[in-house]
Structures are given as structure tokens and as C-alpha cells.
């Protein structure tokens, strides 16, 4: 940016609180936007009939990944960001990435077709945790420095501390409702569908085995 451009911006008298803007982006942009690719991924699983391919195993891996993301988000909404919470977030992000690789390998090994659209959806789901975490570390650079020092000199570094300015009950209720509608319901339906398909296959095998035994006895 040139000096002239900087002077022009300064002359407008507009000031931006970067911390406040970033916080609003995380709360009202990134977090709600996270539900969109998650729901789209469920649609792709349904279209490729996950219940007839990877089945319950892959669906349980999806539940695991949601827990890996959901736990640090829930803690961040209720507690202050400190070295303990940053450690949980960093560890969860790393484990989530490893589980995502396991998920794709499970789908490919089962011959479920992972289409290019689904792969692109996965790219969003994998990058969003790192996007959110990097913005959070910028907001709390002092806590990141404390983490790098092992929390020395900070008595609250390694314990959960309630938010000094709690988020509004309305916002928390809206996030909870979105999680229920966009995560728990569709992925619960997916797991139930996979379990039903597995039971139906098991019943067919028992019936076929019984018919073969009856044929042999004749």
C-alpha cells in the first residue's frame, strides 16, 4: 500500500478493531459455515450408498471425526483460551487429520466411489479446523507464547477457566440447534441406515444358509 492510499484511508476516520472483527468472523462466519460442507458430505455418502459398501465402519469413523472437532469447539465456546485449551485444539486438529486419511482409505478399500465433488468437500472439512485454529492463535498470541514457554508463570495455564465474558444463551442455543439439525440428525440417520443394512445382509445370509442345509438334507 502506498503512503497516499494509507493517508486516504486514515482521512476517512474509519477505524477497525481487528480483534473484534476476527471474533465475529469466527462466531458468525466460519463456525456456522462449517455446517454446509458437513451436510453436503452426508448427501454424498447417501448418493453413493454407504450402507451397501463401507457401511457401519465408515459411518462410525465419521462420528469419531465429529467428536474430534466438536469437543474443542464446545470447550472454546465455554472457556477462556489458554495453553491447556490450545493444546487440546492442536491435538484434536492433528488427530482429526489422521482420522480423515483413515476415512478415505476405508471408503476406497470398500469400493465406495469417492467422487471428485466429495473430495472437494473433504478439502473444506480438513482445512476449516486449521483456519479456525490459526485465527484463534492470532487473537490469543499471548496464550500461544505462554504455551511455547510451557505455561511458566501462569497459574491458570493448565486448567479450564470459565469465560470472563460468556457468550449469550441465544447464540449457544442457536449453535446447539444447528449441530442437532446439520450434524446429529443426518449422521445419526446414516449410522442407523448402515446398521439396518448390515442386519438385513446378516439375515439374508442366515436364510440362505438355512435353505442350503434344507436342500442338502433332501
Query: What pLDDT, on a 0 to 100 scale, did the predictor assign at position 18?
Result: 86
Q: What is the CA radius of gyration of the chain?
A: 24
Instruction: Tell me the per-residue pLDDT of 71-94, one tens digit each, with 9 for 90 and over.
Output: 999 999 999 999 999 999 999 999
Question: Helices in 79-184 by DSSP H: which ranges?
Answer: 83-109, 116-139, 141-148, 169-179
pLDDT at 96 over 90: yes
Quote the pTM value.
0.85
Query: What pLDDT, on a 0 to 100 scale, did the predictor assign at position 95?
Result: 96
Phi, psi of 164 (to 5 degrees): -70, -35
Average pLDDT on 46-62 reads 96
Q: Is 79 helix (H, G, I), strand (E, B) or coil?
A: strand
93-97, 197-201, 203-207: the lowest-pLDDT one? 203-207
What is the CA angle 8-14-20, rounded to 5?
Answer: 135
Amino acid at each position: 500500500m502506498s503512503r497516499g492510499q494509507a493517508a486516504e484511508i486514515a482521512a476517512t476516520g474509519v477505524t477497525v478493531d481487528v480483534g473484534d472483527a476476527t471474533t465475529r468472523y469466527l462466531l458468525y462466519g466460519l463456525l456456522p459455515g462449517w455446517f454446509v460442507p458437513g451436510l453436503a458430505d452426508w448427501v454424498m455418502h447417501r448418493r453413493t450408498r454407504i450402507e451397501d459398501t463401507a457401511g457401519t465402519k465408515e459411518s462410525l469413523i465419521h462420528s469419531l471425526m465429529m467428536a474430534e472437532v466438536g469437543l474443542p469447539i464446545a470447550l472454546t465456546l465455554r472457556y477462556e483460551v489458554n495453553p491447556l485449551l490450545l493444546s487440546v485444539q492442536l491435538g484434536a486438529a492433528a488427530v482429526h487429520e489422521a482420522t480423515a486419511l483413515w476415512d478415505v482409505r476405508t471408503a476406497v478399500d470398500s469400493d465406495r466411489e469417492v467422487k471428485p465433488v466429495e473430495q472437494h468437500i473433504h478439502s473444506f472439512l480438513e482445512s476449516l479446523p486449521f483456519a479456525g485454529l490459526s485465527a484463534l492463535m492470532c487473537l490469543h498470541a499471548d496464550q500461544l507464547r505462554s504455551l511455547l514457554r510451557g505455561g511458566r508463570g501462569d497459574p491458570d495455564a493448565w486448567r479450564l477457566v470459565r469465560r470472563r465474558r460468556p457468550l449469550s444463551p441465544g447464540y449457544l442455543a442457536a449453535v446447539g440447534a444447528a449441530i442437532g439439525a446439520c450434524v446429529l440428525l443426518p449422521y445419526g440417520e446414516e449410522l442407523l441406515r448402515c446398521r439396518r443394512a448390515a442386519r438385513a445382509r446378516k439375515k439374508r445370509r442366515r436364510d440362505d444358509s438355512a435353505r442350503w442345509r434344507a436342500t442338502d438334507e433332501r
